[in-house]
Amino acid sequence: MIDDELKAILVCPACKGDLLFEETRIICRACRKAYPIRDGIPVMLINEAQPWSPGT
Amino acid sequence: MRVLVTGAAGFIGSHLCEFLLARDCDVVGMDNFITGSADNLTPVRRHPRFSFVRHDVTEYVPIAGPLDWVLHFASPASPRDYLELPIQTLKVGALGTHNALGVARATRARFLLASTSEVYGDPLMHPQREDYWGNVNPIGPRGVYDEAKRFAEAMTMAYHRTHGVDTRIVRIFNSFGPRMRLNDGRAIPAFMTQALSGAPITVFGDGSQTRSFQYISDLVEGVWLLMQLGGNEPVNMGNPQEMTLLELAKRIIRLSGSRSEIVFRPLPEDDPKVRQPDITRARTLLGWQPRVDTDEGLKLTLEWFRERVKGVEA
């Protein structure tokens, strides 16, 4: 669970874009990356992000 | 008030987070877990005002504010770690400090750099005062940490002078307490682990080199005061109670009731011979001085290590 306060201030480390928070990952639609959430911790490491495209 | 702490899962960072939460700050912790550990965050993980992001501060810091303080504590800090991670150490001092300053500037937050007594290198002035420029070997193996922090200080002052960021620099002398890693290679964890397991205590050189050890609670209190009262000039924080490494080994043997013997090993390259903070500036500016006596701090730390060493043996 990522608290709302963190959601409000976190942006994409690659493009500074807004993020979309899902249950298990965090999506940057602008630069098409999915950052994992592990043990409730958002992992905002660019080299651990998966490529993302709409509909996946 | 909202505070970003880089290196939040480290020894000092995690104590700092606890301290800030106890003073009603909202804390955003950041760490990449290279040398920090999620275990260190156990006491704060569920705190309603604590949130945590796993991130590498050498990349753009993805916080769009608002923030009131940025406290930059991320860095490998024990010689064993920075000798193993020389490039990461240089990067976090250089790029990491730049990025942390960038987020402070963008959010108009006050910034603090956790610097180190290592900026004085193997000092030719004793005790070390903040206006001493140091004696560092830039190409020696330890230079990666010393020079990273010296660069970080230069970057911090440049952001202050050029961009008007309200910055603080604390030069932290040897600090100790619970949550130091058993195997981080530093004297106190090594001596305690050896003493508690009955293994010989390895002292490097003849043990006549000196250090001054401050207990962690004194340091975090000093950082808190520095953020509120301090100026932009660097401030030493450490315990002026200086002792030789041999004396430290003997104290730990006595306090732990150990029967370990002391054995001597060759001194590492560029190991500083003396180290003692002049804390006049912190006293004058902040009314700060260490309150925890070294033996008292050692006892508190031994209790913590006793549990961990037991776990390793079992």
- Smallest Cβ distance to B62: which of A5, A10, A38? A10
Please name the member of A11, A12, A41 whose beta carbon is closest to the beta carbon of B54: A41
**What band does B273 get if pLDDT is binned at 50, 70 and 90?**
confident
Using an 8 Å Cβ cutoff, are B6 and B96 in contact?
yes
> Using alpha carbons only, what angle is made at residue B74 by residues B308 and B70, rounded to the nearest 5 degrees?
125
C-alpha span between A15 and B125 (Å, rounded): 47
Q: Is B8 in contact with B41 (CB distance < 8 Å)?
A: yes
Enumerate the H helices of B108-173 as residue ranges. 143-163
The pLDDT of B274-302, averaged and rounded, is: 96
B144-166: average pLDDT: 98
Confidence of residue B314 (pLDDT cuts 50, 70, 90): very low
Say if the Cβ atoms of B51 and A14 lie within 8 Å: no
Which residues of B belong to the active site?
145
Which residues, at least 6 apart from B107, have a Cβ–Cβ distance to it below 8 Å? B63, B64, B65, B66, B67, B70
CB B124, CB B275: distance < 8 Å: no
Find the DSSP H helices in chain B: 11-22, 79-84, 86-91, 97-107, 143-163, 187-197, 216-229, 245-256, 280-286, 294-313
Percentage of residues of chain B with pLDDT beyond 70: 99
ipTM of predicted complex? 0.95
Cross-chain residue pair A43–B54, CB shorter than 8 Å = yes
In the numeric block, which tokens belong to residue B86? 């020389």
pTM (2 decimals)?
A: 0.95
Contact B55 A45 (CB under 8 A): yes
Kindly report, residue by residue over B191-246, the tens digit of the pLDDT: 999 999 999 999 999 999 999 999 999 999 999 999 999 899 999 999 999 999 99
Output the average pLDDT for chain B.
95
- Report the C-alpha gap between A24 and A34 in whole angstroms: 10
Could you tell me if B37 and B183 are in contact, meaning their C-beta atoms sit under 8 angstroms apart? Answer: no
Q: Which two tokens stand for residue B54?
A: 């796993």
Using the Cβ of A26 and the Cβ atoms of chain B, whether some distance falls under 8 Å is answered with: no
What percent of chain B lies above the pLDDT cut of 90? Answer: 92
Contacts for B312 with CB less than 8 Å, ≥ 6 apart: B182, B193, B197
| A9 at interface of B, judged by CB pairs closer than 8 A | yes
Q: Report CB contact under 8 Å: B51, A45.
A: no
Q: Does B198 touch chain A (CB under 8 A)?
A: no
Residue B42 contacts A, CB cutoff 8 Å? no
- Amino acid B309: pLDDT: 87
Q: Which of A54, A41, A50, A45 is nearest to A12 (CA)?
A: A45
Tokens encoding B140: 């020696």
Is residue B313's pLDDT more than 60?
no
Closest to B75 in 3D by CA, of B180, B151, B145, B155? B145
A&B contacts, CB < 8 Å: 51
* Interface list for B 51-70 with A (CB within 8 A): 51-56, 59-67
What's the pLDDT score for residue A10? 97
Predicted pLDDT of residue B312: 60
pLDDT in tens, B105-119: 999 999 999 999 999
Q: How far off is chain B from A35, nearest CA to CA, in Å?
A: 11
Burial letters B248-266, b for 16+ CB under 10 A, else e: bbbbbbebbebebebeeee
Tally the C-alpha atoms within 13 A of residue A9's C-alpha that lie toward its C-beta.
Answer: 22
Find the distance separating the first CA and the last CA of chain A, reported in whole Å.
21
CB contact under 8 A, B54 and A13: no
> Residues 6 or more apart from B118 whose CB is under 8 A from it?
B136, B142, B145, B146, B149, B272
Whether the predicted pLDDT of A17 surpasses 60: yes
The H-assigned helical ranges of A1-56 are 4-9
Measured distance CA(B66)–CA(B69) in Å, rounded: 10
Structure tokens at B33: 């877990």
* B220, B224, B229, B235: CA torsion to nearest 10: 30
Tokens of B310: 């037991």
